[in-house]
Structure 1
């Protein structure tokens, strides 16, 4: 992992607008973050990966623990936002492979509500996490395979 490139991606202001507010990463904090994500990756039902598009580090994604089970997280550099759907579809495949029946996706209130996500969700509701509001989609994986995004 190239920490300098990951630092640059995770510290992009355009990307940070859609994340919970936190300090900018530095070498020490990115090392701690990376160590934590590697630990999450070893947990049952979880998978965390860096995203490379055309050989360029574009961000990270993961299926990780959540208060209600497991959540999908996708964090991609703005220049690669058009690739989010293909990353999401890959992650849905991972979730099924890992045996999940349902998974949640929290999108910060800075993002619009997505009709396609709503169609494959059992429920959609507002959630407050760390002082910010999110639209939370509870995605039924069986329903996902029946509906095209």
Structure 2
């Protein structure tokens, strides 16, 4: 079993995080944006730290077996709150465990529901569809997404 830790952005080497977030295999499943450089990664992290301070949000860097693997969190979207998971391809097998942790966080934070948007470059996931209350297509930032809506179990975070 892998050791997954969730770290505050302030305690992470930004150059290592930048290298992970600039990986081609990771970027192909994100909305297109310029590659990070030292200045832009610092600004982006500042934004994530500010998001983390918003009531109902929690945003962290993911460390797996001591390696920076990406980031995840619960953050606002245009209709409420969304779950976000951004992982280096090397760690894609850990996504299900991270997802369950995020649903637990959603319960701790008092959310009744959260959504999970996956860019149209990703296939529809039958397991997620079975767990979701609904699955729909959505448009965000000029791209198409499959959006899974989940009720949050307040009894079993």
Q: TM-score, normalised by structure 1?
A: 0.93
Q: Which residue of structure 2 lines up, in the alignment, with residue 120 of structure 1?
A: 131
Match for residue 67 of structure 1 among 53, 74, 78: 78
Corresponding position of 1:93: 104
Aligned residues, how many?
144
CA distance in 1, matches of 2:133, 2:34: 34
Per-residue deviation, residues 93-127 of structure 1 (Å, max 9, x unmatched) = 00011011100000001111111211222221111
Structure 1 stretches of 4+ moved >2 Å:
none
Q: Distance in 1 between matches of 2:131 and 2:113?
A: 10
Give per-residue Cα distances to partners, 1:59-94, cap 9 Å, x unaligned.
100100011100000001110001111111111100
- 1:57 alignment partner in structure 2: 68
- Helix, strand or coil for the counterpart of 2:47? helix
What is the aligned-residue RMSD (CA, Å)? 1.2
Which of 35, 51, 70 does residue 40 from structure 1 map onto? Answer: 51
Runs of at least 5 residues in structure 1 that lack an aligned partner in the other structure: none
TM-score for both structures, normalised by structure 2: 0.89
Alignment of 1:19 with 2:39, yes or no, is no
